[in-house]
Chains A and B, each alone.
Chain A
Amino acid sequence: MTMDVPISKKQDGEANAKSEGEAPGTVNGCAMPLPMLRPGQPACVECIRAAGQAITRKLSAMGIVHGAHVMVLNSQPGPLMLRVGEGRYAIGRGMAQHILVTPCQ
Chain B
Amino acid sequence: MACECTGVAPGIQGLRVTVALAGNPNSGKTTLFNALTCSRQHVGNYPGVTVEKKEGEFEHDGMEIHVIDLPGTYSLTAYSPEELVARNVVINEAPDMVVDVVDASNLERNLYLAVQFMELGIPMILAFNMSDLAEARGHSIDIERLSELFQVPIIRMVAHKGQGIQELKQAIVHVAGQTPAQQPATVKYGGHIEAELDKLTEALQGSVPDSGRPTARWLALKLLEGDEAVIGQIRREAKNAIDVLQKVEDSRNLLVRELGDDAEILIADRRYGFISGACQEAVRSTVETRHSMSDRIDMVLTHRVLSIPIFLLMMFLVFKLTFAVGDPLMGWIESFFGWLGEAITTYWPEGAAPLLQSLIVDGIIGGVGGVVVFLPNILLLFLAISILEDSGYMARAAFIMDRFMHKIGLHGKSFIPMLIGFGCTVPAIMATRTLENHRDRLTTMLVAPLMSCGARLPIYALIIPAFFPATWHARLLWLIYFIGIVLAIVCAKLLRGTLFKGEAAPFVMELPPYRLPTVRGVLVHMWERGWLYLKKAGTLILGVSIVMWALLTFPQKIEYSRDYNQAIEDVSSKQLPAEEAEELVAELEQARASEELANSYAGRIGHAFEPLIKPLGFDWKIGTAMIGAFAAKEVFVAQMGIVYSVGEADEDSVPLRDKLRENYSPLVGFCIMLFSLISAPCMATIAVTKRESNSWKWALFQLGGLTALAYVITLIVYQVGSICGIGV
Contact = CB atoms under 8 A, between A and B. Distances in A.
Interface in A1-24: 1-2, 4-5, 9-12, 16
Most buried by A among B79, B295, B398, B508: B508
A59 B508 contact: yes
Say whether chain B's binding surface is mostly helix, strand, loop, or mixed.
Answer: helix
Contacts of A4: 257
B103 to A, nearest CB: 8
Contacts of A56: 262, 264-265, 268
A92 B109 contact: no
A16 B108 CA distance: 26
Nearest to B75: A61
A67 B277 CA distance: 14
B509 A89 contact: yes
A91 interface: yes
A26 B257 CA distance: 28
Given A61-B112, A66-B265, A92-B402, A75 B304 contact: yes
Most buried by A among B294, B302, B303: B302
A83 B512 CA distance: 11
Interface residues of B, number: 52
B606 to A, nearest CB: 50
A79 B268 contact: no
B7 interface: no
Given A65-B269, A79-B399, A53 B511 contact: no
A87 B25 CA distance: 12
A95 B108 contact: no
B285 to A, nearest CB: 10
Interface in B212-237: 225-226, 228
Interface string A39-82: 00000000110010111111111110111010001111111010
A88 interface: yes
Interface string A78-105: 1101011111111110110000000000
B260 A61 contact: no
A44 to B, nearest CB: 13
A50 to B, nearest CB: 10
A55 B399 contact: no
Nearest to B295: A73
Contacts of B256: 9
Contact of A81 (B108, B257, B259, B298): B298
B402 A79 contact: yes
A53 B406 CA distance: 23
Contacts of B403: 77-79
B229 to A, nearest CB: 11
Contact of B226 (A57, A78, A87): A57
Contacts of A95: 506-508
B262 A62 contact: no
A17 to B, nearest CB: 13
B260 A5 contact: yes
A90 B508 contact: yes
A-B pairs, top 9 by smallest CB distance, nearest first, are A92-B507, A60-B268, A76-B304, A61-B75, A78-B403, A61-B74, A95-B506, A86-B106, A63-B109
Interface of B: 74-75, 77, 79, 105-109, 112-113, 137, 225-226, 228, 256-262, 264-265, 268-269, 272, 289, 294-295, 298, 302-304, 307, 395, 398-400, 402-403, 406, 411-412, 506-513
